[in-house]
Amino acid sequence: MMNMEDEYKTRSSQSKERKKSGSTKVIVILAIVAIAGFAFGISQFIMMMSVRSDLQALEEKLIEVEEKKVRLQDQYDEIYEENQELRDENKMLRSSRVIEHGSREIDKVAITINNGAQVELIERALDYLDEYNVQVTFFPMGSWVESEPGVWLRAVRDGHELGNSTYSHPLLTRVSTERVIEEIEGWEQAIEDALGEPYQTLFFRPPYGDGFLPGQGYRGGEVHEIIAEKGMFPVLWDLELIYALRNEPYTPERVAEYVINNARGGSIILLHFNPQDIAALPDILEGLRERDLTPCTLSEMLVAR
């Protein structure tokens, strides 16, 4: 049997081994923690340096973009100054020309349709034009575009073009210069809102032709200057129905007959979004083609040779 002294020594030895083992575990754990902390620190440091590098690269890119912007602005200013004479000539051209028809030597005629309050008539016209694969030029009031933007968005997506016909269709010779500008810009804003992007048109149709009819030069010249400044040509027509058929029954059949018989190469045909004109549209398109005349937009007709 183990005596008391030997047992004490054995227990003491075991206790020391347990303490030594515990201390070793603590040291190992502390070492692991230290290594993990060091590794985490290294990782954070590397990440921080990477972020700093990215920020520096981004800053350099922004500086490069800003310098490019300055160069482009300088180039724009230079080109703008160099082309002042060309702009003046362009404005003079727009200020001296009223488009009533195109060249008589071509086989194209421009279909233009004014106003457009009733959505069902506009949609019916678009359906007819799609069926015959014809694009035309619309001159809608800005306020009607504002109230029914979807149908005009469809018109542009279908390939038709729009011309400015003011926001509310006033007699331009009876309103102030400021009001004329507001009407033109109001139309532009209505179209931009409907389409979701700016829309540039070359064509302006004065309501009722006011300011551009015989004997209205006292105010028409001022209106013409404003239109030219906006980069547009005033567009009238050489074939219309409402006045021409004022003493006759105004029926789709008579409308179609009159247009087909009187259209010539380069004609600008003025229709309106009324039931008779829109109902006559299929017969008009067929009749023009039978006469070897191609219905199209103003732009297409005016550039034809």
Query: With contact defined as beta carbons under 8 Å apart, do 102 and 108 qualify?
Result: yes
Shared-domain flag, residues 163 and 47: no
Assess if residue 92 is contained within a domain.
no
Nearest one of 137, 111, 120, 155 to 275, comparing CA atoms: 120
Nearest one of 299, 297, 251 to 278, comparing CA atoms: 251
Assess if residue 87 is contained within a domain.
no
Assess if residue 201 is contained within a domain.
yes
Assess if residue 89 is contained within a domain.
no
Name 254's Cβ contacts closer than 8 Å, sequence gap at least 6.
Answer: 245, 248
**Domain tally, the chain:** 2
Assess if residue 219 is contained within a domain.
yes
Does residue 94 have a pLDDT over 90?
A: no
pTM exceeding the 0.85 threshold for the entire prediction: no
Query: With contact defined as beta carbons under 8 Å apart, do 255 and 280 qualify?
Result: yes
Quote the pLDDT of residue 44: 67
Quote the pLDDT of residue 89: 46
Does residue 85 have a pLDDT over 60?
A: no
Q: Return the CATH number at 210.
A: 3.20.20.370
Query: With contact defined as beta carbons under 8 Å apart, do 304 and 103 qualify?
Result: yes
Lowest mean pLDDT among 104-113, 156-165, 172-181, 279-288: 172-181
Shared-domain flag, residues 27 and 154: no
pLDDT in tens, 122-145: 999 999 999 999 999 999 999 999
Quote the pLDDT of residue 115: 86
What number is the average pLDDT over the span 170-186? 94
Which of the four pLDDT bands, split at 50, 70 and 90, describes residue 221? confident
Assess if residue 207 is contained within a domain.
yes
Which domain covers residue 11, as residue numbers? 1-82
